[in-house]
Amino acid sequence: MPSVCFYFHVHQPIRVKKFGVLDIGKNIDYFDDRHNKAILNKVATKCYIPANNLIYDLIKRHDGKFKVSYSITGTFLDQAKMWRPDLIESFQKLASTGQVEFLAETYYHSLTSLFSENEFYDQVEKHILTIQELFGQTPKVFRNTELVYYDYLAKLVSKFGFKAILAEGWDKILDWRSPNFVYETKDSHLKLLLKNYKLSDDIAFRFSNKAWEEWPLTSEKFANWIHAVNGNGQVVNLFMDYETLGEHQWEDTGIFDFLEKVPEQILKHPDMDFVTVGQEAERYPATDVVSMPSPVSWADTERDLSAWTGNAMQQSSLHSLYSLEEKIKKTKDSKLLEDWRKLQTSDNFYYMCTKWFNDGDVHKYFNAYDRPHDAYIYFSNILVDLIHRLEEKLEEAEAKVSGGLGKVMEEVQGAGI
Amino acid sequence: MYADLLNGRKEGEIKILMLGWELPPFHSGGLGIACEGLTKSLSRLGVEIAFVLPKVYSGGYDWMKVYDASDMLLENGFSHKCVELAKENKCCLVNGYQKINIDSQKKGMCQLCVGQFDNSPYAHVNFYTRGVKALAQNLQYDLIHAHDWMTYPAGIAAKVVAKEKNKLTPFLAQVHATEVDRHDGKFIYETEKAGFNAADRVVAVSYLTKNTVNMYYGIDQNKISVVHNGIDPREIQLNPKNPIKKKYKVVLFLGRVTFQKGPDYFVKVAKKVTDSYPNVKFMMLGSGDMQTRMIEEGAREGLTGKLLFNSWISDQDKDAAYQLADVFVMPSVSEPFGIVPLEAIQNGTPVIVSKSSGVAEVIANCAKVDFWDIDMMADEIIKLLKDKKYAKTMIDGAKKEVEGLTWDRSAKEMIRVYEQTMGGKVYA
C-alpha cells in the first residue's frame, strides 16, 4: 500500500543589480527591486496564484485525502511580504486546511552548510521561526538548498530535532536499492526521504517535451506508473520546483489539467494514499541506511555541486563572501548582515556557471544576466562595496571604543540583541 | 590667423579627398576620434575636406563635407542587399573596422546579408571602393588622404579616376595601426602593403609605426613621414572624491580587452601588487575577445574584489574612472599611438605606458616599461602609489606636455607633408 508524497519547493532569488565599478562606494542598493518585483508578479500570475487555487480545490474536493508539502524560501517570503502579501495569505489559506506541511531550510536558499556551521544554524533557525510565525507550524522535516545532502549534514541538523531530511534518489548512490523506500541517515537516526527522480522529472522536465516517447503524459498513464510500485515500495516521492506548474511548464502544456486529475486517478487504487513528508517519516520504518559521504544535489546530470562551485569565478566569490562572516557579525549591523546573507543565495553562483553542455539550456534560461562572467563582475563589484561598508562600521566601532566607555556600552547593547 | 601656414595660398586652395571608415559618435576605436580631431584642425587651418564614410549615420560634421559611399552605390544603379540594409541602418558597416571578415561567423557582423555575398571576404571594402570611385568622378581634389587599410583600395581607385581626367593626384596613405599590431589575417597585410606601395607618401602616427612599415612591409624610410596624433584641451568635470579612496588606491586599465592591448600583463601585475598591497584595487574597463579569459584568470588567481571589471563605459564615466584612479597603465604589446594615456593625464592621473607605444615618443613625464616586464611595472605602480611627490611631479609635467599636443600642431605638420607631397618631383 504505497503512498504518494508531493513536495514542492517555492523560491525566488533576490537578484542583484548590474552593479558597475563606478557604483562602488556610493551607497547604492545591491538588489534590483524593479526586476525582482516584475518577476514575482509574472510568476505569481502564471504559477503561484493558479497553482495554490488548484491545490486548495483538490484538498477540499478529496476531503483531506490529498496532501502536499512545501518548502518556501525566506527570499521568496521577504519579497512576497513587500510586493505580494496576497501570496502569503494564499499559502496561509492552504495551511489552514490541515493537509499541508511546511519544511525547514536555509532562510536565504544558501549553500552555507558547506561553508559555515554557525551561519547555517542561524539561517535554519530564522527560517523555522518565520514558518512558525506565518503558518503556525513547526517544521519537522528539513530540506537543504538544491537538495544538497551528505552524511555530515544529518549530524549538523540533529540539534533541531527533525524527523527526516530530503535527498536525491540518485542511482549511483542507491545502486540496486529503490528510492521508493524510506531509509535512514548514517550514524544518526533521521529518516532519509529520497526523490524518485524519474517520476518527478516526468512531470518537471519531460511533461511538455513532444520528442519524448511518452508524450502526451496523461493522468491515467502517470497513475498507472505509480500503481506499478504497489508491492514493491512504500512511497513515491515526487519532489519538484513549485514553478514547474505554470512557469517551467506553461499552462498551455496542460500541466494544470494534468495535476487536477492526478489525485483521483491515484486514489482509484484503494491501496494508495497521499502523505506529507512528516507523515511519511512517521508511518514507514527505515529499511536500510543510505550513506552519501560527499554532497549530492538534485541538479544537472552530475547531481553534484558543480553548478555552483565548479569554476574559479564561483569558488573565488564564495570564498571571498564567506571569509567576511566574523567581521560582519562583529559589527552587529542588521542591514549589513542581511545584505551579506542575501548575497549567499545559491542562485548568485548558479548564474556564474560556465557548464554549457547538456544542462546549458536550463542554465541559460535561468540566468539573470547575459553571460556568467557578467554575473561575476556585478557580484565582485558589490563585494567590494560591502567590504567598504563593513570596514567603515568596524572603524566607527573602534573609534567608539577608544572613546572610553564605548566598549562597555557596545557589549551591553550587543547583549540585548 | 593661420596666414603663415597658407604659404600665400588662399583658403580652400588645398582640396583633400579624405577616405575614412568611421567618425564619432559612431566609432569603434581610436581611428574615428583621430579622424575627427585632425579634420577639424585642418579645416580651421584652411584645408577643404571632402570626407567619405562607408555609411553616414548622422549629420553635424559642419567643418567639412561628408559623403556616404553607400548612397553613391544606390544612386549609380548599383544595388546589393548589403547596401540596402545599410541604408535602413540594419547593416553594421560602421562596426566593420574591427571585424569585417565575413568568414568569421561573429555575431553582429552582417548576419542579415552575409549569406548573399559573393566570395569576397572583405565585401565592405569592395563596396566602399566602388562608392568612392563613383563619388570621385564629380569631385575636385588635389590630394587623396586615406586612413588605414580599409580605404587604401579606394585611395588607389580615386587616383585612377583623377588620372582618367588627365590629372596627376598624389595619394597619401596614413597608418594608424598595422596588421603587425593586430594579427587579423594575411589579406589585410597584403592590402596594406599594396596601399603603401601605391602611395606617394606614407604617414605614420609614430616612429614606432614608421619602423614597422619599413621593417615588415619593406617601405623606404624616406617615403614615410611621422605625424603624431593630438588631443585638444577641454574642460574636465571634476567628480567628487569617492569615499572608497580613503582606504584604497586604484590602478586603471581602459581600452579594448584584446591581445594587442596586453590585458594579461595587467592581470599579472594586479596579482603581484595586491599580494603585497591588498588595499590596491585594479580595474579593467572595456570589452573585447580576451575579456572572459581575463575574468577567469583573475578569479583563478583569487583576485575577486581586487581586480574589477566593467564591459562598457560612457564618455562621461570615462572621466570619472580616470579621476578615480591613482595610476593609469597601458601595457600594450603593440600600440601605434595610444590616445588613452593622454586622456588620463588630462584628468590628472599619472601614467605608465608600454615602451611599444607611439605615445611614449611624445610624453616624457611618464613611466615607460616593457609590456612583459611585470616586476618593473609593479615597481613603478608601487612607487607612484607610495611617493606622492614623485607622482605629483610626474603628472604636473605630463599635463604641460599634453597641453602642447593639440590637433592644430598635428594638422600643421600634416599640411607640411601635403605640401611636400604635392610639390614632389612627380607632381610638379
User: Between chains, do B304 and A371 touch, taking CB under 8 Å as contact?
Assistant: no
**Is the CB of residue B270 less than 8 Å away from at least one CB of chain A?**
no
> Please, are residues B268 and B329 in contact by the beta-carbon 8 Å criterion?
no
**What is the predicted pLDDT for the residue at B125?**
76
Closest C-alpha to A14, from A338, A312, A360? A338
Residue with cell 597584403: B190
Nearest CA in chain A to B247: A388
Q: Which residues, 6+ apart, have CB-to-CB distance to B415 below 8 Å?
A: B5, B14, B42, B45, B47
Burial class from Cβ neighbours inside 10 Å (0-12, 13-18, 19+) for residue A135 reads buried
For B3-230+407-427, CATH gives 3.40.50.2000
Residue B306 cell numbers, joined: 581586487
**Is the CB of residue B243 less than 8 Å away from at least one CB of chain A?**
yes
The third-level CATH classification (topology) of the domain covering A3-290 is 7-stranded beta/alpha barrel (3.20.110)
Confidence band for B8, pLDDT divided at 50, 70 and 90: low
**Is the CB of residue A373 less than 8 Å away from at least one CB of chain B?**
yes
Pick among B257, B294, B295 to test the A interface (most A CBs inside 10 A): B295
Residue with cell 537538495: A147
**Is the CB of residue B321 less than 8 Å away from at least one CB of chain A?**
yes
Instruction: Measure CB to CB from residue B308 to each of A21, A26, A319 and give the nearest one.
Output: A21
> Please, are residues B215 and B334 in contact by the beta-carbon 8 Å criterion?
no
User: Between chains, do B308 and A384 touch, taking CB under 8 Å as contact?
Assistant: yes
Instruction: Measure CB to CB from residue A383 to each of B244, B304, B311 and give the nearest one.
Output: B304
Nearest CA in chain B to A395: B247
Of A119, A146, A247, A325, the catalytic one is A146
A235/chain B closest Cα distance in angstroms = 45
B166/chain A closest Cα distance in angstroms = 57
**What is the predicted pLDDT for the residue at A365?**
61
Q: What are phi and psi of B100, to 5 degrees?
A: -110, 5
A274/chain B closest Cα distance in angstroms = 48
Nearest CA in chain A to B292: A373
Q: How far apart are CA A389 and CA A28, in angstroms?
A: 11
**What is the predicted pLDDT for the residue at A26?**
94
pLDDT per position as a tens digit, B98-117: 333 333 333 333 443 434 44
User: Between chains, do A311 and B292 touch, taking CB under 8 Å as contact?
Assistant: no
Confidence band for B86, pLDDT divided at 50, 70 and 90: low
Q: How far is CA B368 from CA A36, A319, B20, B380, B411, in A?
A: 48, 36, 31, 9, 27
**Is the CB of residue B283 less than 8 Å away from at least one CB of chain A?**
yes
Q: State the average pLDDT over residues B388-401.
A: 98
**What is the predicted pLDDT for the residue at A400?**
80
pLDDT per position as a tens digit, B124-151: 777 788 889 989 999 999 999 999 988 9
**Is the CB of residue B83 less than 8 Å away from at least one CB of chain A?**
no
Domain ranges of chain A: 3-290, 310-416
Question: Does residue A146 carry a catalytic annotation?
Answer: yes
The residue type at A361: D
Q: How far is CA B224 from CA A40, A195, B256, B413, B428, in A?
A: 65, 75, 28, 13, 20
Q: State the average pLDDT over residues B381-386.
A: 98
User: Between chains, do A317 and B304 touch, taking CB under 8 Å as contact?
Assistant: yes
User: Between chains, do A320 and B304 touch, taking CB under 8 Å as contact?
Assistant: yes
- Spell out the per-residue pLDDT of chain A, length 417, in tens: 689 999 999 999 999 999 999 999 999 999 999 999 999 999 999 999 999 999 999 999 999 899 999 999 999 999 999 999 999 999 999 999 999 999 999 999 999 999 999 999 999 999 999 999 999 999 999 999 999 999 999 999 999 999 999 999 999 999 999 999 999 999 888 999 999 999 999 999 999 999 999 999 999 999 999 999 988 899 999 999 999 999 999 999 999 999 999 999 999 999 899 999 999 999 999 999 999 999 999 998 899 999 999 999 999 999 999 999 999 999 999 999 999 999 999 999 999 998 864 444 555 666 678 889 999 999 999 999 999 999 999 998 888 877 655 454 444 444 433
Q: Is the pLDDT of residue B42 over 60?
A: yes
**What is the predicted pLDDT for the residue at A366?**
63
Surface of A (242-301) touching B: CB under 8 A? none
pLDDT per position as a tens digit, B291-313: 999 999 999 999 999 999 998 88
**Count of H helices and E strands in chain B?**
16, 13
User: CB contacts < 8 Å between A and B, how many?
Assistant: 78
A397/chain B closest Cα distance in angstroms = 17
User: Between chains, do A316 and B308 touch, taking CB under 8 Å as contact?
Assistant: no
B34/chain A closest Cα distance in angstroms = 27
Average pLDDT value over all residues in chain B? 86
**Is the CB of residue A21 less than 8 Å away from at least one CB of chain B?**
yes
User: Between chains, do A313 and B303 touch, taking CB under 8 Å as contact?
Assistant: no
Secondary structure (3-state) at B354:
strand
Q: Is the pLDDT of residue B97 over 80?
A: no
User: Between chains, do A377 and B244 touch, taking CB under 8 Å as contact?
Assistant: no
**Is the CB of residue A355 less than 8 Å away from at least one CB of chain B?**
no
**What is the predicted pLDDT for the residue at A403?**
65
Closest C-alpha to A321, from A385, A254, A227? A385
Pick among A318, A352, A373, A391 to test the B interface (most B CBs inside 10 A): A373
Q: Is the pLDDT of residue B85 over 70?
A: no
User: Between chains, do B309 and A377 touch, taking CB under 8 Å as contact?
Assistant: yes
Instruction: Measure CB to CB from residue B305 to each of A22, A312, A387 and give the nearest one.
Output: A387
**Is the CB of residue A381 less than 8 Å away from at least one CB of chain B?**
yes
A27/chain B closest Cα distance in angstroms = 10
Chain B residues in contact with A309 by the CB 8 A cut-off are: none
**Count of H helices and E strands in chain A?**
19, 12
**What is the predicted pLDDT for the residue at B115?**
40
Instruction: Measure CB to CB from residue A21 to each of B243, B304, B310 and give the nearest one.
Output: B310
Chain A residues in contact with B245 by the CB 8 A cut-off are: 25
Chain A residues in contact with B311 by the CB 8 A cut-off are: 374, 377
Pick among B291, B309, B314 to test the A interface (most A CBs inside 10 A): B309
Q: How far is CA B233 from CA B236, B390, B397, in A?
A: 9, 24, 15
Nearest CA in chain B to A371: B292
CATH class of B243-404: alpha beta
∠B30-B253-B108 over CA atoms, to 5°?
50
Residue with cell 562607408: B54
Nearest CA in chain B to A20: B310
> Please, are residues B25 and B58 in contact by the beta-carbon 8 Å criterion?
yes
Residue B414 cell numbers, joined: 600634416
Instruction: Measure CB to CB from residue A380 to each of B291, B304, B317 and give the nearest one.
Output: B304
> Please, are residues B93 and B54 in contact by the beta-carbon 8 Å criterion?
yes
Closest C-alpha to B296, from A374, A221, A140? A374
pLDDT per position as a tens digit, B200-251: 999 999 999 999 999 999 999 999 999 999 999 999 999 999 999 999 999 9
User: Between chains, do A384 and B324 touch, taking CB under 8 Å as contact?
Assistant: no
